[in-house]
Structure 1
Amino acid sequence: MDRGTETGAPPSRGAEESAPAEYAAAGRIPLAVVVVDREGLVSHWSRGARRLFGASKEEALGQPAVDLLPVSGALPDADDEDTTPYGVDDGLGPDLESSLDGRLAYRAAGRARLAVPGSDGDRVDVLWWAYPLVGPGHERLLVLAADTDVLRQEGDEVVVERIAPGFALHTDFPGADELARRLPEILPSMSVGESARIVAQILELGYPVLEFSQNDLVPVTPDWGVPRRAERKARRERAARAVQAGEPLPEDLRDDVEDLEHAAVRERLEFLNDVSGRIGTSLDLSRTIIEVSRAVVPRFTDVAGTYLREQVVAGEGFPDGVPDTTTMWHRVALEHTDEPGRWDDVVPVGEAMPFPAHTPFFQCMTSGQPVLVPRISEQMGHRIASQFEKRDIRPLITGRSMLVVPLKARNVVLGFMILLRHPERVEFNDMDRVTGAELAARAGLVLDNARMYTYQESVAETLQDSMLPQIPPRMAGCDIATRYLPGTLLGRVGGDWFDSVKLPGARTALVVGDVMGHGLNSAAMMGQLRTAVQTMAALDLPPAQLLRNLDDLAQRLGDTYLATCLYAVYDPIASELHLANAGHIPPVLVRAVDGRSELLDLPTGAPIGVGGVPFEAVRVRVEPGDRLVMCTDGLVEVRGEDIGVGLATLCESAAHPAASMDDACDTIIRALNVRGGRKDDVALLMTRLNGIEPDDVAEWRLALDPAEVGRARAVVREQLHDWGLARLVDSAELLVGELVTNAVRHSHGRPVELRLVRGETLLCEVDDDDHTLPTLLSTEPMAEFGRGLRVVSTLAREWGASRTGAGKTVWFELTLPRRR
């Protein structure tokens, strides 16, 4: 913002200090330029703004504009300042404070009094112009301001009695085209697209002018008191031509050679610093790719296409080997300054292709070095275009300057960028090649960080998903719904889990656990404990004994980790819950009769891994339709808040009526997740305890007599007919005969018990007092034993065996016929 233009030749610094009135007459005034975004925050702060308002660019950017331009009142024409209401000064629109607050809908101008920074009550009188900005950018307001003292007087003598800000079409003045051309220099630090959009709106709304007391209108031309940028550029170009031609430099240009070199280096460093600040704002690979492409357009290039190797896009880890002609490259981003749609149809984002060896792209990817093509000739354009089937890209690339830079990390090429400049723009040179290489190095590092994060997140997600069970929505006598939410800060890997295990007697084991800590180690520990719980649950251990054994196992695995666990066994026939707790938060039971919810009062117990602590189990009577809610503490615990608040919210939300189990889970998640501050994983398991009606259960006691096998078949046949399951009679009779035969043969003295349960499936269980579990054997054609279980395994939907306190239970299930 420290450069500008002026009408006529630039005066000397001495003239500037002695003749401010002369500047005013010509309209050359020092301007403060401020751009305000849609939030009312400063997004552009010129050097003139720093001189007038006292704040540096670093202090101003991102701050509320109203705070930096404290308006105490409009400056009236009369000397009686205190009697004129604020904002009623020249009738040119709303006051400045309203404009800064973003309420300006049309152009406005005025005179205001602002506090002088660092002074005690002093004020400075300023003229201001404000332009509302529209369009796709974040800029919403342009404010120009000037000190009236420079314009009104020379020393102690008042030269002009009255000056007011105004607007006029730039065509109203001589040299209108020159004014329009120099206007973008008000915003030199903005991109071409941004400054062009703002200038177009200024010209449409009216060029800023000074209206003097004699009704003369003078266009405002910014004057920063330094030589014009265009003049310095011309001097540098003359010096560069002289150096290239080997001619002696004129005396007035000798300092410009060094100035030219310093300016080029400074511009390069400023560009790289700006790019570094604009890329890598997140670890999201897709967003990083877009940031890298947009960072170079239009300041460094007019077209930027980014290509990445197939393995990088697929998240398959670090690519191996040097790329070759078979390597697939995905076009992941394309930014350009051409008219919309010109590139999109010809080279669409998402396309994958290999590159032949004769192309500069292949040379770049194999050598890992930038490739510079000053101008793409017709012949080269034809060779490059030949690889694009059915699309002719020659009109897009021929005659343009091209720079291909590799995106590398750890000496491996992850991708490359194709940079193109318009034919009328200066060609890429060796310094641009160096700049492009540095740019690519920084971009490659950022992309590799994002790639590694994406890859590790994918691995963690796969690990976590593989450890979480796929629980069926329905089991014997109950419906189940679950939710798992990863921690918000530490990725998807955590130690929370839930599970359900089918038990003999149509019972179901329900488990929720939480390994303390986060990360892969906690997830691995969780996997070990979950497997152990499933194994011990299949042995039908009582809840307290299971937790005791789990604690012993954790001690053998090491003393690094602790875990909490809540284990419940639901018996739908007895309508009973059998629960034991190891340091876990208690479950919530929602009664179906009145919708009341309560935290079950369980012995808390110590966490798994403490060792030497007893566990107690309790039995709770339930009714059909009751709901049991089990969760980990990540759902109810917020740092700095009493956990009782979360538990109360859990009870309240669990009792809320819902159309389905999934809706009920979502209600709980919404109620507790909106409280904020959650950083832990969340595991939620909800079970609706439907129960099994007595009419759906049939039991018989059989004596240890081979003749009882026939009786067992008969009673099963009769019961299935009563239940309307005649289609299952033949299979059920055969399988029951096999199991009862084995039970009668191996029992030691206690009668054999036979049970049929009609639920989602037909369940048949046979109990005896022999602890030896049957094993499925491979039978020879003439073998005398072993065929019974082979028949059961072939005809049953599912079968199994487990030990009980008195012996064992062997069971099978048959699929119920569809109801017509």
Structure 2
Amino acid sequence: MAVVQRADSDGGQPAEGRPVVGHPGVFRDLLPMAVWGVGHDGCVWQWGLAAQDLLGWGPDQVIGHDGLPILVPECNRELAKELAARCWAGETVVGSYPVRHRDGHTVEMEMWMAPVTDPAGQPGLLVIAAETSAVRRMRDSLAALEGLFAQSPIGLALLDRELRYVRVNDALADMNGRPAAAHVGKRLREVVPGIDPGAVEALMRQVLHSGRAVLDVRTGRTDANPGCDRVWSSSYAPLTDSDGEALGVIASVIDITEGQADHLRAERARQRFALLAEAGERIGTTLDLRQAADGLAQVLVPQLADTAEVLLLEGVLAPDDAGASAHDLLHRLATAGPTPTAPAQQAPEATHRIPPGSVYAAVLGQRRPQTVPLPLPVLRSVPPDPGEGLFAHSAPGTARVVPLNARGKVLGLVITTRTRGEPFDEEDTVLIDELVARAALNIDNARLYASRHQAALTLQRSLIKPLPAVPGLELASGYLPASSENEVGGDWLDVLTLPDGRTGLIIGDVMGHGIRAAAVMGQLRIMARTLAAQNVPPARLMHHLDAAVTDLGESELATCVYAVYDRASADCLITRAGHPPPVLADPHRTVRFLEGTCGAPLGSPRDAPFQTEHVPLPPGSILVLYTDGLIESHDHDLDHGLNQLAHALRRPSRTLREIRDHLIADLLPEPSHDDVAVLLARPR
């Protein structure tokens, strides 16, 4: 039995003569080995269990078979043959090439091949092979560790489980004022007693037990400079083997005495950069005006201020409202921190009058921020509130009043206060001003977006008129603008009374969103009404609309469907331009989609004129025209939406308004990301 030397727990001389079965970490983890034998005919005659464990081949799959095609990749077979021939000739050889594992991958191995006699008495060879990838990685790691210890300006140390030094680099030896060799085998209290070694060792034991690294900042003295306190930043990390068993602790030490102030300033700068990044996430990713204002207030408090108020000029919020055009009114959009208002709590949003000659008026007029002592002048609420106005009971401290300037225009004010700790210093005011300047652009973007969204919605609604009364035809329509997070689109519908007594039903969708889409929609609607008044046939009317969209530019596209109902013949003529197919439900609730000839969208290149489909429309049947917002969704495909539409139309007969309401409820359970227009017609 092997005799293993093992050091005692006190770090004294090794104990002799204790038989110990050690952990087989080297051969198992670092240098797994395999043995097999090959006869003179190339067949494997011996295959050890270690070879099976390492390469996956069982003895029955290898023994008695030519080992060359089984184990050696084709590109290495000539080398393998050469080495085997030399070995059969009586030479012991060493080689290195990959061996094929049973699952197909290759294992890099180094081999020692010795000549032996095979079971038949013929010259054979014995292969002792080792898988070397772990050893190579360990070699590279050791080289890196050697370079790190030799060249790193950071103090480094390895300590064993008993927290005795195993190795230190020159940088740490210089910090401690002792040669590196004088550390080995000693505890901290023997080398650096002036740094509270008990507390440091307690941290390192915590690392050993938890397996997690810890950081520490410590002040003390060493032999390098025994008359002066130094400050060190240290980290302690566990050193483990491949099974996760703790072998010791690796410590890194940085002397931060001289650079501590710089370090603190750098940390403060890092925190402020993080604050700017947070502001970008809170404010720069929304087009909701109040959400942007609230995000700014929440970023300022408590990182930089105790309270923050975001106030916009009333004239900026409602530029078209003559009653709100006064320049001396501020509307509070957001607040953060302990409210600086009177005990009679005001609403989160309130309007205040700016006192003439106050700091607020000066900042707005000069467009330059100011830092002033508290208390601030009172901002009286409008209409008058029984309680005190804003800032009526502010505690002593300082305030920073910053204008919200964007695109050459002053939008309002941001007022921050600090009543605890130190007053605002120069770095504080620079950062507050930077945050406000960045937020001003986002707030202005949100304001402009809200204004454009409302203008487009107003324009679109103004163009969608109530349906006319048509003898012999029951009508119902619905229009839903996109959800508030999306710009309004260019959907429209109309019912046209033609000169010959027929009725035109038209619905369309201009590609895109916003005021431009709504304006293009208005042009197409007016042109369609004008052409219909001249009794222009459906295909010809669609041709004129196509020419109008083409004239607007290559970027403009629209879809449209136009149906002309003739009460006398009880039928419809339908022409489509890239639009979803109309749906026809007969009196027996048989539903079919009118998939007749469909031309390309308006404004796109075309090779053929628009075609017209003739569709019977007897009394009691329902014709449904709609835009794609009714059937398309991010949650399902187009076919699913069409199936839902058909299913909804198969329900028992009701009024068209009830059918319309059920269509919208069934197909749009949540707010749509696109505008939705639907038009239903049923002959009486």
TM bracket, shorter-chain basis = 0.5 to 0.7
- 1:334 corresponds to which residue? 335
Supply the AA of the counterpart residue of 1:305. Answer: E
Supply the AA of the counterpart residue of 2:335. Answer: L
- 1:570 corresponds to which residue? 565
Give the alignment partner of residue 122 of structure 1, picking from 226, 236, 244: 244
- 2:352 corresponds to which residue? 353
Separation in 2, partners of 1:518, 1:386 = 39
- 1:475 corresponds to which residue? 470
Query: Per-residue deviation at 1:563?
Result: 4.1
Structure 2 CA distance for partners of 1:363 and 1:658, relative to 1, 3 Å: farther
**Alpha carbons 2:298, 2:336 under 8 Å: kept:** yes
Structure 2 CA distance for partners of 1:398 and 1:563, relative to 1, 3 Å: closer
> Are residue 512 (structure 1) and residue 507 (structure 2) matched?
yes
Separation in 2, partners of 1:118, 1:308 = 60
Give the alignment partner of residue 303 of structure 2, picking from 299, 306, 322: 299
**Alpha carbons 2:342, 2:388 under 8 Å: kept:** no
Query: Per-residue deviation at 1:487?
Result: 6.0
For residues 504-541 of structure 1, the C-alpha deviation after alignment (integer angstroms, 9 at most, x for no partner) is 56542111223455565554443333222111212233
Query: Per-residue deviation at 1:265?
Result: 4.8
> Are residue 585 (structure 1) and residue 580 (structure 2) matched?
yes
Separation in 2, partners of 1:324, 1:466 = 25
> Are residue 23 (structure 1) and residue 202 (structure 2) matched?
yes
Give the alignment partner of residue 403 of structure 2, picking from 403, 406, 411: 406
Query: Per-residue deviation at 1:628?
Result: 0.8
**Alpha carbons 1:315, 1:451 under 8 Å: kept:** no
Supply the AA of the counterpart residue of 1:409. Answer: A
Separation in 2, partners of 1:430, 1:478 = 75
**Secondary structure, in 3 states, of the residue corresponding to 1:437?**
helix
Q: TM-score, normalised by structure 1?
A: 0.48
- 1:366 corresponds to which residue? 365
**Secondary structure, in 3 states, of the residue corresponding to 1:363?**
helix
Separation in 1, partners of 2:317, 2:500 = 51
How do 1:149-548 and structure 2 match up within 5 A?
265=269, 268-314=272-318, 326-337=327-338, 343=342, 345-376=344-375, 390-392=386-388, 396-422=393-419, 424-467=420-463, 469-472=464-467, 474-485=469-480, 491-504=486-499, 507-516=502-511, 522-548=517-543
For residues 426-448 of structure 1, the C-alpha deviation after alignment (integer angstroms, 9 at most, x for no partner) is 22233332232222212222212
**Alpha carbons 1:305, 1:417 under 8 Å: kept:** yes
Query: Per-residue deviation at 1:667?
Result: 3.5
Supply the AA of the counterpart residue of 1:23. Answer: A
Query: Per-residue deviation at 1:315?
Result: 6.2
**Alpha carbons 1:16, 1:225 under 8 Å: kept:** no
**Secondary structure, in 3 states, of the residue corresponding to 1:301?**
coil
- 1:721 corresponds to which residue? none
Separation in 2, partners of 1:547, 1:304 = 58
How do 1:526-675 and structure 2 match up within 5 A?
526-551=521-546, 561-572=556-567, 574-592=569-587, 594-600=588-594, 602-605=596-599, 607-608=601-602, 610=605, 613-636=608-631, 643-657=638-652, 660-673=655-668
Separation in 2, partners of 1:280, 1:118 = 46
For structure 1, the residue ranges without an aligned partner over 5 or more in a row are 1-10, 33-47, 54-115, 126-148, 156-223, 233-251, 692-820
Supply the AA of the counterpart residue of 1:314. Answer: A
**Alpha carbons 2:353, 2:379 under 8 Å: kept:** no
- Which stretch shows the higher mean deviation, 285-294 or 604-613? 604-613
- 2:213 corresponds to which residue? 51
Separation in 2, partners of 1:458, 1:124 = 66
Separation in 2, partners of 1:325, 1:521 = 31
**Alpha carbons 2:476, 2:681 under 8 Å: kept:** yes
**Alpha carbons 1:279, 1:295 under 8 Å: kept:** no
**Alpha carbons 2:307, 2:418 under 8 Å: kept:** yes
- 1:755 corresponds to which residue? none
**Alpha carbons 1:476, 1:572 under 8 Å: kept:** no
**Secondary structure, in 3 states, of the residue corresponding to 2:404?**
strand
Structure 2 CA distance for partners of 1:344 and 1:686, relative to 1, 3 Å: farther
Between the two proteins, what is the percent identity of the paired residues? 32
Query: Per-residue deviation at 1:363?
Result: 1.8
Structure 2 CA distance for partners of 1:612 and 1:584, relative to 1, 3 Å: same
Supply the AA of the counterpart residue of 2:288. Answer: D
Query: Per-residue deviation at 1:361?
Result: 1.5
Separation in 2, partners of 1:688, 1:16 = 93
Structure 2 CA distance for partners of 1:556 and 1:365, relative to 1, 3 Å: closer
Separation in 2, partners of 1:259, 1:605 = 70
Supply the AA of the counterpart residue of 1:350. Answer: E
**Secondary structure, in 3 states, of the residue corresponding to 1:295?**
helix
**Alpha carbons 2:628, 2:676 under 8 Å: kept:** yes
Separation in 2, partners of 1:605, 1:415 = 52
**Alpha carbons 1:334, 1:349 under 8 Å: kept:** yes
Query: Per-residue deviation at 1:51?
Result: 2.8
- 1:734 corresponds to which residue? none
**Secondary structure, in 3 states, of the residue corresponding to 1:541?**
coil
Structure 2 CA distance for partners of 1:269 and 1:477, relative to 1, 3 Å: same
Separation in 2, partners of 1:580, 1:606 = 11
Separation in 1, partners of 2:468, 2:196 = 85
Query: Per-residue deviation at 1:614?
Result: 4.1
Supply the AA of the counterpart residue of 1:576. Answer: D
- 1:187 corresponds to which residue? none
Structure 2 CA distance for partners of 1:52 and 1:441, relative to 1, 3 Å: same
For residues 151-191 of structure 1, the C-alpha deviation after alignment (integer angstroms, 9 at most, x for no partner) is xxxx9xxxxxxxxxxxxxxxxxxxxxxxxxxxxxxxxxxxx
For structure 2, the residue ranges without an aligned partner over 5 or more in a row are 1-188, 216-237
Supply the AA of the counterpart residue of 2:244. Answer: D
- Which stretch shows the higher mean deviation, 297-306 or 347-356? 347-356
Count of residue pairs brought into register by the alignment: 469
RMSD (Å) for aligned C-alpha atoms = 4.8
Structure 2 CA distance for partners of 1:354 and 1:547, relative to 1, 3 Å: same
Structure 2 CA distance for partners of 1:492 and 1:304, relative to 1, 3 Å: closer
Supply the AA of the counterpart residue of 1:687. Answer: A
